[in-house]
Amino acid sequence: MGQIGVPGIILLVILALLLFGPNKLPELGRAVGRTFREFKDGAREIIDDEPASKKKEEAPQPVAAQAKVEDKRLPE
């Protein structure tokens, strides 16, 4: 596949304008930007995190689960 040059980008912008209209393009651009940002953040988290086995061992219990355990330990 060849590279997309300036004429190709201009053609894509004109095609997008015809398909979606000028009012919808900013919304599409924001959605694409958010998608890329979330993907980048998720990939960074996966790379920076510890192995999953260690993470499971150290994971704290949710507050609701802790309350249930404490209720069972303390008789009234």
What pLDDT digit, counting tens, does each position of 6-19 carry?
A: 999 899 989 988 99
The pTM of this model reads 0.44
In a domain, 30, yes or no: yes
What is the domain count for the chain? 1
In a domain, 61, yes or no: yes
In a domain, 29, yes or no: yes
In a domain, 51, yes or no: yes
Residue 44 is classified by DSSP as H
Cα dihedral 41, 43, 48, 49 sign:
positive
In a domain, 1, yes or no: no
**Mean confidence (pLDDT) of the chain:** 77
C-alpha–C-alpha distance, residues 68 and 39, integer Å: 36
Domain range holding 64? Answer: 6-73
